[in-house]
Amino acid sequence: MLRAAILIVVGALPLVIAPGWFLYFETTPKLGLLLAGLAVALWNAEQLTPGFRILWRSRFGRLFLQIAGIQAVWLFITSVLSQDAAVSFFGTGWRRLGTTEHGAILLFCAIVAAWLAEDVSRIRSLLRAICIGGIAVSAYGILQYFGVDPFLDSQSYRVAYDHLSIIRPPSTIGHSLYFAGFLVVLICLSLALSVIEASSRWRLVALFSMVTASTALLLTGTRSGLLGVIAAVAVGAWGARPKITQRRVALALAGSACCGALFWTPPAARLRDRLVQWSDDAKGGPRLLLWRDTFRMALDHPWLGTGSETFAGRFPKYQSEELARAYPDYYHESPHNILLDSLTSAGMPGVMLFLLLVGIGAASAVCSSLDRNLAAILAAGFAGIFVCQQFAPFVLSTALLFHLLLAILVAGAAVGGVCPSTLPANKLLSAATLAAAMFAVVLAARMMQLDWLWASLQRDIRSNNLAKAVERYRGIDRMFPPVSGPDVWYSRALNTACKDIRDEPLRRKAWEQSVQAAIRATRFSEDRQNAFYNLAVFHASEGLSRDAEEALRSAIALAPNWYKPHWLLAEVLLSQGHAMDADTEVKLGRRLAGAAHPEIEETGKRVDAALQSFRLK
C-alpha cells in the first residue's frame, strides 16, 4: 500500500484534472490525491521507521528533517498571526498552496526520502512513475498547441498580441509558466531513468518521455523554461563532466539543426510570433516593477510576512503608481518569484529556511553516494526548476516536484546507513500518525466537497435553475473552510440572472442573496479590494450612495493606485452633489488608468459640466 500510494501520487498528481466536476478543476483533484496518498502513507508509517532512522543518522538527512519541520511550524505561526488566516491556512482556489497544503507536501516528501533511504533502488520505480505520467502531460500540451483539446477552451490560453496569434499551452498544470517548470524537471528525470534503467523497454519509455517533454517545452514559448534548461545543462555538465567526443558533438549539432529547421515550418508560426513578442517585451512584462514594489511590501512585514497566499490581497496597497499606470487591469496574484513569495508570505525567517533547504539539496548532490551521472542529472533538475521558479510561483505540481527532487538527493546522500531490523513500537508516535492520516482524509473530503458544490452552483446558474442555486448557496456559505474566490463571481452572476426572473419572490430572494455573497466576499476573498468594489457597485445600483462610498473608500484603502474605485467614487460623489470632490477622484482615476477609458472620460465631462454650472451660480 505504501509503495502504491507514493507512486500513484508522484505519477498521477500532475496529470489529474476534472473539468465539469470541480470549479477549480486543475487544483482541487490534485490536492485530493495528495492528501489521500499522504493519509495512506501515514497509515503505514511503521514501515518507514527504518528509513527515518537512516535519514536521522545521515548529516544531510537529519538537517532536512529538522529544517522542513521548522519551516512547517513557522508557516503555521505566520498563518495564525495573519490578518487573512483562512486564506493563509487553506490557500486560494487557483493555487491551493496555503500552509496546510505546503505542510502536506513537506511531510509527503519526507516520507518519500525515508522510503528511498531504506532501499535506494526504489528510485527507479519512482522515476518510472513520473515518466509515465509525464508523457501524458507533455502529449496533452503538444495537442493543445495544434488545436486539439477535448477538455479546455483553447481561447483561454491564446494570447492576442498586435496582429500576432500566440498559443501557450498549459496542459494539466494550469499555465504555460508552471507547465515549463514541470517539463524542465521531467526532461532531467527522464534522462536519469535512461541512465540507471536496465530494461531496454523502459529506456525507450525514458527516451520517449524526454523527447515529448522537450517538444512540449519548446511549444510553451517560455523564457523561464529556456533559462531553466540552460541552468540544468550547466550543472549537469559540471557534475558529470562527460567526455566530448566527435559522436556527441555530431549528435548535438544534428539536434540543433533539426530544431532550427522545424522552427521555420508552418506549424511553428505561433512560436515565431512568440519570438517577436519576446523582442518587444525584453523586460518580461510587469516583473521588474512588480519585484521592486514587492520589496516595499516585504520591508513593511520583515519578520512574519503576511501569510501564505495572501499576496493578491496585500500587494495592491504597495503597488506603485508607475506599475498601476503601466498595467492598470493586471491582476498580480503572486510576486512571480519563489524567494520573494517566501519573503512576503513568511518574512525573513521563511525565506532563510527555504534557502537552507535549497542548500541541503545542493550539498546532498555534491556528497551523494549515488552513481555520479545520476547524481549530476538529479542536481541538474534541481537547479533547473530553481531557476524557472525565479519567474513563476509554485503550484501544487511544481512544488511537489521541487521537494521530491530534494527528497531524492537527501536520500542519495544517506545511502549506506544502517538500522536495526527490529525496532520498538512507539504508541505515542503511532497515535499521532493515525490522527494526521484521519485529518488528511477529512480535509481532502471537505475541500473536494466544497469545490464540487461550487461547480454544481455554476451549472445551476448556467442552466438558469436559479431556485436551485439559491438553495444550494445557503449551505455553502456556512461551510468551513471558506473558498476564497467564488463569492464575487456568484454575486455578479446571480445579479445578472435576476434581470430575467419573472417570479417576483424568487427574484427578491436571488437579489438579497447576491448582496449577501458580495458582503461575504469582503471577508474571505483573496483580493478584498475587488470584493469591496463589487459591493459598491451593488449599493450604487440600489441608490445607496453612502454605503457605496464607504465600500469604495475601503477598496481605495486596500488598493490606493487602482483606478476603478476612484472612477466609481467620482460617480457616487457626483450623484451626491459633491462636484469638487468628484473632480479630484476622476482626475486621479484618469491618471492611474494609464490610457483613455471611455467611461472615465464620460464621467469627467459630466463633472466638468457640474463644476461649470456651480461657477455660473
Interatomic CA distance for residues 481 and 439, integer angstroms: 14
Contact 304, 346 (CB under 8 A): yes
Torsion of CA 106, 108, 112, 117, to 10 degrees: 60
Whether 616 shows a pLDDT value over 70: the answer reads: no
Residue whose grid cell is 516583473: 287
Cis amide bond preceding 170, omega within 30: no
- The secondary structure element, H or E, covering residue 251 is helix 246-263
Please, which residues bridge with residue 160 across strands?
Answer: 165
> Residues 105-122: what's their mean pLDDT?
96
> Residues 543-553: what's their mean pLDDT?
95
What mean pLDDT, rounded, does the chain reach?
92
At residue 46, the pLDDT reads 86
At residue 273, the pLDDT reads 80
At residue 425, the pLDDT reads 59
Interatomic CA distance for residues 377 and 191, integer angstroms: 7
At residue 275, the pLDDT reads 80
At residue 197, the pLDDT reads 95
Whether 164 shows a pLDDT value over 80: the answer reads: no
pLDDT grade, residue 125 (50/70/90)?
A: very high
CA nearest to 25, candidates 448, 400, 440: 448
Whether 568 shows a pLDDT value over 90: the answer reads: yes
Whether 522 shows a pLDDT value over 90: the answer reads: yes
At residue 240, the pLDDT reads 87
pLDDT digits over 33-55, tens only?
A: 999 999 999 999 889 989 999 99
Q: Percentage of residues in the chain with pLDDT exceeding 90?
A: 78
Q: Residue 244 corresponds to which cell in the numbers above?
A: 566530448
pLDDT digits over 414-465, tens only?
A: 976 544 454 555 778 888 899 999 999 999 999 999 999 999 999 999 998 9
> Residues 471-483: what's their mean pLDDT?
86
Torsion of CA 415, 418, 420, 424, to 10 degrees: -60
At residue 266, the pLDDT reads 79
The three-state secondary structure class of 166 is: strand
| 501 or 161, which is more confident | 501
Q: Residue 526 corresponds to which cell in the numbers above?
A: 483573496
pLDDT grade, residue 615 (50/70/90)?
A: low
User: Highest mean pLDDT range out of 329-338, 347-356, 572-581, 603-612?
Assistant: 347-356
Whether 355 shows a pLDDT value over 90: the answer reads: yes
Contact 515, 491 (CB under 8 A): yes
Backbone region of residue 284 per phi and psi (left: phi > 0; alpha: psi in -120 to 50; beta: other values) = left
**Burial of residue 474 (number of CB atoms within 10 Å: 0-12, 13-18, 19+):** exposed
Give the global pTM: 0.96
Q: Residue 98 corresponds to which cell in the numbers above?
A: 496555503
Residue whose grid cell is 470549479: 23
CA nearest to 355, candidates 158, 67, 160: 67
Degrees, nearest 5: CA angle 486-100-477: 30
pLDDT digits over 191-249, tens only?
A: 999 999 999 999 999 999 999 999 999 999 999 999 999 999 999 999 988 877 777 67
For residue 339, count other CB atoms closer than 10 A to its CB.
17
CA nearest to 342, candidates 396, 380, 284, 301: 301
pLDDT grade, residue 106 (50/70/90)?
A: very high
Contact 204, 130 (CB under 8 A): no
Please, which residues bridge with residue 410 across strands?
Answer: none
Whether 257 shows a pLDDT value over 90: the answer reads: no
Whether 274 shows a pLDDT value over 90: the answer reads: no
> Residues 555-570: what's their mean pLDDT?
97
